Amino acid sequence: MTGKGVRNDDVSSLKVPEGCKATLYQHGWFTGWHATFSAGEYNHAAMIGKGAKNDDMSSIKVIEELDPAHDPSTCQAPHIFLESTCGCGCENAAEKQQTCEEGAPSDVTPFKRWDAATCACVCDASSLSVEFQIQSAAPDCVISVKPEIITKCAGENKLPSADGSACECAADSPVCEAPMVRGDKCDCICPADAVSGESAAAQCEARHATLNPATCGCECPNECPSPQVHPSSGDCDVCSCPVANQCVDTPPIKAILSSTTCLFECGKSSDD
């Protein structure tokens, strides 16, 4: 220092050029008290205010002052100083980010994202249908259907859809052969009335008949005494003569139909 023209123990002010940082030391081998000064001009009061002592300096260090963004001392865990960027960052960030974000988000694929602030792979629920789905914590981040949706679908003898928004019949549900159709509980049932929506069983019950599940037809449990038949309306509680035997007036003679024989007694008046 003295070789540069500076007198020992004879400094009362200081100028530090831009881009540099100076540290004053009490003794000749960088020991004793010390005070550090960034770029700027420091008069006696300013120098003393920064911790130096008047006329008591015997050595000095001048180094390049790094921008705070490139100063290793500013890096805080989990960030470290990276020589490649001369700044703070995550160790092996590019490799870890690629591993973290492999694949694309979907309704069923766990999706993660790289968080540069924490240098960690975190769960990303941006594609989550929060009404029907839940996601496990990192590192798995598995998306699954909410338990209450699974219970609801099980009560309907169905399985939840991939996103949990609907209950669907299983892929291996039995194939329904005509005239049967798929029912609400994924079983094979006889079709309901297209207009009223009344079930096949209810339709048969209204006719006092029973449903044949094999043919989906209504069958009367009782037979009418011959030659009577059940009417075309299908009411099993009613027996009458066939429609072909119904009486047709032929004036002036009226033929009377016998409900017992289902035959006409011709030549008689209906008043006889």
Domain ranges of the chain: 2-65, 181-217
Question: Contact at 8 Å (CB) between 107 and 143?
Answer: yes
pLDDT higher than 60, residue 25: yes
The full 3-state SS of the chain, as one line of letters, equals: CHHHCCCCCCCCCEEECCCEEEEEECCCCCCCCEEEECCEEECHHHHHHCCCCCCCCCEEEEEECCCHHHCHHHCCCCCEEECCCCEEECCCHHHHHHHHCCCCCCCCCCCEEEECCCCEEEECCCCCCCCCEEECCCCCCCEEECHHHHHHHHHCCCEECCCCCCEECCCCCCCCCCCCEECCCCCEECCCCCCCCCCHHHHHHHCCCEEECCCCEEECCCCCCCCCECCCCCCCCCCECCHHHCCCCECCECCEECCCCCCEECCCCCCC
pLDDT tens digit string along 171-190? 777 788 888 888 888 888 89
- 2-65 placed in CATH 2.30.110.10: no
Q: Going edge to edge, which strands form the sheet with 20-25?
A: 34-37, 20-25, 59-64
The distance in angstroms from the start CA to the end CA of the chain is 153
How confident is the model over 191-197, as a mean pLDDT? 89
Report pLDDT for 265: 63
Report pLDDT for 272: 46
Report pLDDT for 176: 87
Report pLDDT for 148: 94
How confident is the model over 30-51, as a mean pLDDT? 91
Report pLDDT for 178: 87
Report pLDDT for 253: 52
Report pLDDT for 200: 92
pLDDT higher than 90, residue 104: no
Does pTM surpass 0.85? no
How confident is the model over 97-112, as a mean pLDDT? 70
pLDDT tens digit string along 211-269? 998 889 899 998 898 888 888 778 999 988 887 655 555 454 556 667 777 776 655 54
pLDDT tens digit string along 147-173? 999 999 988 888 998 888 999 888 777
